[in-house]
Amino acid sequence: MITRKLFFRFPKSEIEKPIVYHLVKDYDLIINIFRARVTDNKEGYMVLDVTGEEESIERGVEFVRAFGVAIDPINKGVRWIEDRCTHCTNCIAHCPTNALHIDDRKTMRVTFTEELCVECLNCLSNCPYGACTSAF
Amino acid sequence: MKTYEEINRKIETGKAVVLTAEEIIDYVDRKGLDAAAKEVDVVTTATFGPMCSSGCFLNFGHSKPKMRISEAWLDDVPAYSGIAAVDVFLGATQLRYNDPANMNYPGRFEFGGAHVIEKLVAGETVQLFGLSYGTDDYPRREIRTWFTIDDLNQAIMVNPRNCYQNYNVAVNCSSRRIHTYLGILEPYMRNATYCSAGQLSPLLNDPLYETVGVGTAVWLAGARGHVYAEGTQHAPTCDRSPNGVPREGAGTLALTGDMKQMDPEFVRGVSLPGYGVSLSLGVGVPIPILNEQILKRTTVRDKDIVAPLIDYSHDYPEKTGRVLGQVSYAALKTGEITFDGRTVRVSAMSSYGKALAIAERLKDEIRRGDFLLAQPLAPLPRQQSMKGLKITEEPK
Ligand code: SF4
Ligand code: SF4
């Protein structure tokens, strides 16, 4: 069993389809949704962890893609813009999962481990330099 | 004993021995103070963090017909124009016109004077909107135009207070979340924030102002800047450790430098939720190793520098003077302190990472012969306290 973090972007027409239900029932996947939202212009976003056999995940992802859902493996919901980060470390105390963390306390530089992020958005309102943003 | 002239001659010929305030610690441990003082010429110190008391004078040159600007906005941020016709002063913390501030608490303060300064240094286009009452010699009454820093005659940063020698560590003892200039503080002392580069910080490496004075050349965001005066609230008479290092705020520097020479990486607008706008600046200060005593002071370590732990929910705003305790920067930098049996998560507002990068850059510039030292014209005051503001019932 493996876990993969996925970011779905739903086109206007597909937001009403019970995609998550099918992922659980037909592909035997364990789903953990961190954050989901339908925007004003009726597009949908969802950030979730899927756990299951690698092959089932692949098939599940194919199934979702068939609905025209865009799956971006790199840009997830919360984004840390390294160029804007000053390594002030202010976010460290506000991040509940250590997704934002300091590897080496001699150089005190901050890094972001996307897989650990649970999309709580604490860092977005906190970052004094606008280095943390969200795709939706 | 060395003199400024001797050190500068070595810098000019590319022979100066320069180390950062971090490197010097182990170096002196290995070589001994005597030998190291003879060898080392300069120790570079640095800091990067919000410095609210900052701003810049800009000169636009004259439009045709001419205008005596009496009110000005830069990207909708008001700039002070109560000086000559086309000079303005833009303050770092000035909010954009119509910013709701804390009306919708906590305010976001996404854009202000500091962000305009960041845009200017980055070479971006900024809008000038100006009004005037019109005079015979300056008839124009309104102007709207766009410019970059290259179009200006001068863009000179003039900061009344930078580089606080030491600083408070903020906690929140109340039961509600508070928003401060040291960041968001969770209730029941769940987190603490500090703002200093500790062992790398300029005035912690020259605690008694033996080398840094009025006229000292500093690295101000990549430009060659200067200390033009003692900083506002400069209060050297304070609680000090036996090594002379202040255990609280203490000294400050007023700095100036040419914004056209600055590097945008070290000039950053800051949005502090619920508090306001500030400007983060990178400052590097070279310490000339004139004698052993000066060298010894630059070997100060994080574990030997302490800062006062202050409750920002009550003691700070009410000015009670109560200090909860003292914490060393070594402890703060571990990311966790224990206080009153509680574990408190610690993060900073200043960037040690950037301070290190600045100390390295200044070191390289001096080694290459690109940055000469300047002997101070006058020392900083060494005895002086900070006055409070009395509220009087009647005129004096
Ligand atoms: S608060 Fe923002 S700028 Fe500071 S370390 Fe975190 S992400 Fe970087
Ligand atoms: S969204 Fe929450 S979990 Fe993710 S990095 Fe930001 S603070 Fe950490």
ipTM score of the complex? Answer: 0.94
pLDDT of residue B108: 97
Q: Both tokens of residue B134?
A: 């019109």
Please measure the distance between the N-terminal and C-terminal CA atoms of chain B and give it in whole angstroms.
52
Question: For chain B, what is the mean pLDDT?
Answer: 97
> Rounded to an integer, what distance in angstroms lies between the CA atom of residue B153 and that of residue B155?
7
A115 shares a domain with A85: yes
- The Cα of B195 is separated from the nearest Cα of chain A by a number of Å equal to 9
- Fill in the DSSP letter of residue A97: T
Nearest to B21 by CA among B219, B207, B285: B285
Q: Which range marks the domain in which residue A60 is found? A: 2-72
CA A120–ligand 2 middle distance (angstroms): 5
Structural domains of chain A, count: 2
Q: What is the pLDDT of residues B273-317, one digit of tens each?
A: 999 999 999 999 999 999 999 999 999 999 999 999 999 999 999
A85 shares a domain with A64: no
pLDDT band at residue B396, thresholds of 50, 70 and 90? confident
**Contact criterion met (CB below 8 Å) for B184 and B167:** no
**Which chain A positions have a beta carbon within 8 Å of B191's beta carbon?**
93-94
Q: What is the pLDDT of residues B88-97, one digit of tens each?
A: 999 999 999 9
Last residue of a domain, one of A44, A72, A100: A72
Residue B41: count other Cβ atoms within 10 Å of its Cβ: 23
**Which chain A positions have a beta carbon within 8 Å of B335's beta carbon?**
92-93, 102, 105
Q: Note which residues in 300-359 of chain B have CB less than 8 A from chain A.
A: 333-335, 345-354, 356
A87 shares a domain with A25: no
**Which chain A positions have a beta carbon within 8 Å of B276's beta carbon?**
none
- The Cα of A112 is separated from the nearest Cα of chain B by a number of Å equal to 15
A97 shares a domain with A54: no
For chain B, what is the largest distance between any 2 Cα atoms, rounded to a whole number of angstroms?
Answer: 72
A87 shares a domain with A36: no
A46 shares a domain with A108: no
pTM as predicted: 0.96
Inform me whether the C-beta atom of residue B131 falls under 8 Å from chain A C-beta atoms: no
Q: What is the pLDDT of residues B183-221, one digit of tens each?
A: 999 999 999 999 999 999 999 999 999 999 999 999 999
pLDDT of residue A15: 66
Q: What is the pLDDT of residues B122-158, one digit of tens each?
A: 999 999 999 999 999 999 999 999 999 999 999 999 9
Residue A32's CATH number: 3.30.70.260
Q: Note which residues in 141-200 of chain B have CB less than 8 A from chain A.
A: 183-184, 186, 191-193
Q: Both tokens of residue A21?
A: 């239900």
pLDDT of residue A75: 67
Q: Is the pLDDT confidence value at B50 over 70?
A: yes
A83 shares a domain with A51: no
A23: Cβ contacts below 8 Å, ≥ 6 apart: A29, A31, A50, A60, A63, A64
Binding pocket residue ranges, ligand 1, CB within 6 Å: A 85-91, 100, 110, 127, 129, 131-132
N residues, chain A: 136
Residue A116's CATH number: 3.30.70.20
A65 shares a domain with A19: yes
For the ranges A50-54, A70-74, B173-177, B258-262, which has the lowest average pLDDT? Answer: A70-74
What is the 3-state secondary structure of chain B? CCCHHHHHHHHHCCCCCEEECCHHHHHHHHHCHHHHHHHCCEEEEEEEEECCCCEEEEECCCCCCCECCCEEEECCEEEECCCCCCEEEEECCCECCCCCHHHHCCCCCCCEHHHHHHHHHCCCCEEEEEECCCCCCCECCEEEEEECHHHCCEEEEEEEEECCCCCCEEECCCCCCEEECCEEECCCCCEEEECCCHHHCHHHCCCCCCCCEECCEEEECCEEEEEEEECCCCCCCCCECCCCCECCCCCCEEEEEEHHHCCHHHEEEEEECCCEEEEEEEEEEEEECCCHHHHHHHCCCHHHCEEEEEECCCHHHHCCCCCCEEEEHHHHCCCEEEECCEEEEEEECCCHHHHHHHHHHHHHHHHHCCCCCCCCCEECCCCCCCCCCCCCCCCC
For the ranges A4-13, B21-30, B305-314, which has the lowest average pLDDT? Answer: A4-13
Q: What is the pLDDT of residues B70-80, one digit of tens each?
A: 999 999 999 99
pLDDT band at residue A76, thresholds of 50, 70 and 90? confident
Q: Which ligand gives the minimal distance to the CA of B193?
A: 1
Give B201: exposed, middle or buried? Use CB within 10 Å, 0-12, 13-18, 19+: buried
> Rounded to an integer, what distance in angstroms lies between the CA atom of residue B208 and that of residue B240?
10
pLDDT of residue A72: 78
> Rounded to an integer, what distance in angstroms lies between the CA atom of residue B338 and that of residue B331?
9
CA A84–ligand 1 middle distance (angstroms): 8
Ligand 2 atom nearest A100 alpha carbon: 5
A83 shares a domain with A65: no
Q: Which ligand gives the minimal distance to the CA of A130?
A: 1
Q: Is the pLDDT confidence value at B355 over 90?
A: yes
Cis peptide bond N-terminal to B381, omega within 30: no
A82 shares a domain with A36: no
pLDDT of residue B253: 98
Q: What is the pLDDT of residues A13-71, one digit of tens each?
A: 766 778 899 999 999 999 999 999 988 887 889 999 999 999 999 999 999 999 889 99
Q: Is the pLDDT confidence value at B160 over 70?
A: yes
A68 shares a domain with A10: yes
Mean pLDDT of B358-383: 98
CA B92–ligand 2 middle distance (angstroms): 29
